[in-house]
Amino acid sequence: MVTRRSLLAAPALLIRGKAAEERPNVLFIASDDLNHSLGCYGHPIVKSPNIDRIASMGVRFDRAYCQFPLCGPSRTSLMSGLRPDSTRILGNQIAIRDTRPDVVTLPQLFRNNGWHSVRVGKMYHMDVPGSVGTNKWDDPPSWDIAISPPGKEQHTQGQGRNLTEGKGRAAWQTIAFTGEGKDQADNTAAELAIETVEKNRNRPFFLGLGFLRPHLPTVAPARFFDLYPLANIQAVRNPPNDRDDIPKASEIAINTRANDMGMNELDRREAIRAYYACISYMDWQVGRVLAALDKANLTRRTIIFFWGDHGWHLGEHHRWHKRSLFEESARAPLIVAAPGRKGAGRGSQSLVEFVDMYPTLAQLAGLKPPPVLEGQSFVPLLDNPGRTWKSAAFTQMADPPNGITGRSVTTGRYRYTRWEGAYPDEELYDHASDPKEYTNLTRDSRQAALLKQLRGTLDAGRKAAQAKV
């Protein structure tokens, strides 16, 4: 069993090739169920000063897309550099070695080349709150040290309620507690990350730091709820006919998180407030770790990736979940701060995919990745964020119990989605005139040529969409 003592007493590894002091550290930060509700992404009220600081040091990707809007498939894809069709993981509660026993994961690549590889918190799939504190579905070959801190989650003492109680099967619990949360998994994860930094000043490390928030239950110190007076929270206003042209397959796939989960407007505003509070709480933990890097004089020697594993609906199309192929679910935050890159402090509108993280980080560290990777390094965007890049990004969904599969492609301006299986259908949205995707243009005969073109883009796949370097 891995303990804090074993973490701190782990022996130094032999560093091959470059001297240890020449190798960059990696701080690989994940936030669970995080959408673009961040200050650096232009949100008008959410306070995220520490994540904003990472953006000021690096490049903020405004059009980064996950490969599958569900925790297990998304994380497995980005950690393996393989798309869901290749990992064959289309749901949760399955480990990468179950389908790809010989895969070399991203942290494993660093570990194999002399980096001290440490995981604290959630990196691969972990049921929240059910398996918090366990190593289920983790990947032991990825890490020298792996710790899943326990946390009280929905059992935390504080003020709050289940906003959907008596209104549906799914729960949205909010809890505002006193103090700083010493009994929360994210607090312990930050402390262990800080200790890892302090104890590894003289050898390169790959630190996978996985925060649970803002994943449900929305649990945070009361002071973070206080940042967002309920009077300042606005619920999403969907057009009255919004759902008339949404395919049945899309509605079924969202399952119990549709129809506003039975919440009235006040409930919805409270849910949004709690989600924002959890983002600011998670951001505070990020700040604690950044301060440790500064104190150890390692910030200039550390590559920082900050990402959410997929997006999250907060009432758009009356949904409160991921598991959709709408923009709010497929697009997620990605910020990369690599010392010495010319694009620092800028945003990029170029299309990138989460499967691109693996080859990008390998290139930044001077490592040769496995030839089977299915993403493309976007290192050139870190020097020139405005340059032309990929022509399309791809996201897919599956709901095997209901016989549903969906595949979606975005070109930046357009999103085309094809549903297959029990309820075949299509969707087409023009973000230039309809950024919230309220009008499905597949019913418009004037879009026949465009629809044909985008069908071809989806069928041509990733290789045809790659950037020309």
pLDDT for 183: 97
> What is the spatial distance between Cα 396 and Cα 342, in angstroms, rounded to a whole number?
33
Residues 90-134: tens digit of each pLDDT: 999 999 999 999 999 999 999 999 999 999 999 999 999 999 999
Residue 402 has pLDDT above 50, yes or no: yes
Quote the pLDDT of residue 275: 98
Computed over every residue of the chain, the mean pLDDT equals 95
Give the active site residue among 36, 40, 66, 71. Answer: 71
Given a cut of 80, whether residue 405 has pLDDT beyond it is: yes
Range in 252-261, 277-286, 426-435 the model is least confident about? 252-261
CATH class for the domain made up of 22-387: alpha beta
pLDDT for position 2: 45
Query: What integer pLDDT is reported at residue 216 of this predicted model?
Result: 98
Would you kindly state where each structural domain of the chain is located, as residue ranges? 22-387
pLDDT tens by residue, 453-464: 999 999 999 999
pLDDT digits (tens, 9 = 90+) for 127-141: 999 999 999 999 999
Which residue in this structure is represented by tokens 């095997």? 400
pLDDT in tens, 370-384: 999 999 999 999 999
Q: Assess whether 313 carries a catalytic annotation.
A: no
Asked whether the predicted pLDDT for residue 12 surpasses 70, the reply is: no
Q: Please give, one letter per residue, the 3-state secondary structure of 211-246.
A: ECCCCCCEEEEHHHHCCCCHHHCCCCCCCCCHHHHC
> According to the model, what pLDDT value does residue 6 have?
43
Active site residue 66: no
What pLDDT was estimated at residue 420? 97
**DSSP secondary structure string for all residues of 290-331:** HHHHHHTT-GGGEEEEEEESS---SSGGG--SS---SHHHHB
pLDDT (0 to 100) of residue 338 = 98
CA-CA distance, 158 to 142, in Å (whole number)? Answer: 37
Catalytic residue among 36, 116, 125, 321: 125
Query: What letter represents residue 167's amino acid?
Result: K
Q: Looking at the predicted structure, is the pLDDT value of residue 240 above 90?
A: yes
Residue 8 has pLDDT above 50, yes or no: no
Contacts of residue 159, defined as CB under 8 A and 6 or more positions apart, other chains included, come to 175, 176, 177, 222
Q: Quick one: pLDDT at residue 168?
A: 79
The two three-digit tokens of residue 92, written as one number? 């949760």
| Average confidence (pLDDT) over 309-324 | 98
pLDDT tens per residue across span 326-379: 999 999 999 999 999 999 999 999 999 999 999 999 999 999 999 999 999 999
Contact 330, 69 (CB under 8 A): yes
Q: What is the pLDDT of residue 407?
A: 98
Contact 450, 443 (CB under 8 A): no
Using a 10 angstrom Cβ sphere, with 0-12 exposed, 13-18 middle and 19 or more buried, the burial of residue 17 is exposed
- Give me the mean pLDDT over the 427-436 stretch: 98
Contact yes or no for 287/209 (Cβ under 8 A): no
User: Looking at the predicted structure, is the pLDDT value of residue 433 above 70?
Assistant: yes
| Range from 61-70, 161-170, 187-196, 457-466 carrying the lowest mean pLDDT | 161-170
Q: What is the mean pLDDT of residues 207-222?
A: 98
* Calpha distance 454→343 (Å, rounded): 31
Give yes or no for a contact between 81 and 103, defined as CB atoms under 8 angstroms apart: no
